[in-house]
Amino acid sequence: MYETDHTSGSVPAMTQARRIEDEITGALAAASYTGRTGRELQTMLAELHGHRAWYGYDGGYTDQGRAACMEALAAAQLVDNPLLQVSVLETLVLLAIKAERAWEAASAVENAYRLATRAGAGHTVHLVIALRDANVATHVGDLAGARRALSRAVSHQGRADTDAEVPDWACFVGPFEVDYATADMYVRADQPKRAVPFLRAAVRGIGGDLARNSASYRVKLAGVLLDAGEVDEACAEMSAVLNACGGISSPRLLHKIRDIQRAAASVDSTAARECGGRIREALRGGAE
For the chain, the structural domain boundaries read 1-12+41-172, 174-288
CA angle 225, 202, 191 (to 5 degrees): 40
Question: In CATH terms, are 1-12+41-172 and 174-288 the same topology?
Answer: yes
Say whether pLDDT at 5 is over 90.
Answer: no
Going from the C-alpha of 43 to that of each of 48, 84, 92, 114, 217, the distances in angstroms are 9, 8, 18, 21, 32
Q: Which helix (H) or strand (E) holds 102?
A: helix 102-119
What is the rounded distance in angstroms from the CA atom of residue 178 to the CA atom of residue 150? Answer: 7
What is the rounded distance in angstroms from the CA atom of residue 109 to the CA atom of residue 106? Answer: 5
Write down the pLDDT at residue 144.
97
Helix axes 251-265, 35-59, angle to 10 degrees: 10
The CATH fold assigned to 174-288 is: 1.25.40
Contact 125, 86 (CB under 8 A): yes
Q: If one looks up domain 1-12+41-172 in CATH, what number appears? A: 1.25.40.10
Backbone angles phi, psi at 41, to 5 degrees: -65, -40
Q: What percent of the chain is modeled with pLDDT above 90? A: 58
Say whether pLDDT at 175 is over 50.
Answer: yes
3-state class (DSSP) for residue 250: coil
Say whether pLDDT at 287 is over 60.
Answer: no
Q: What is the pLDDT of residues 255-270, one digit of tens each?
A: 888 899 999 898 888 9
Write down the pLDDT at residue 285.
63
Contact 199, 217 (CB under 8 A): yes
Say whether pLDDT at 286 is over 80.
Answer: no
Q: Please tell me whether the overall predicted TM-score, pTM, comes out greater than 0.85 for this model.
A: yes
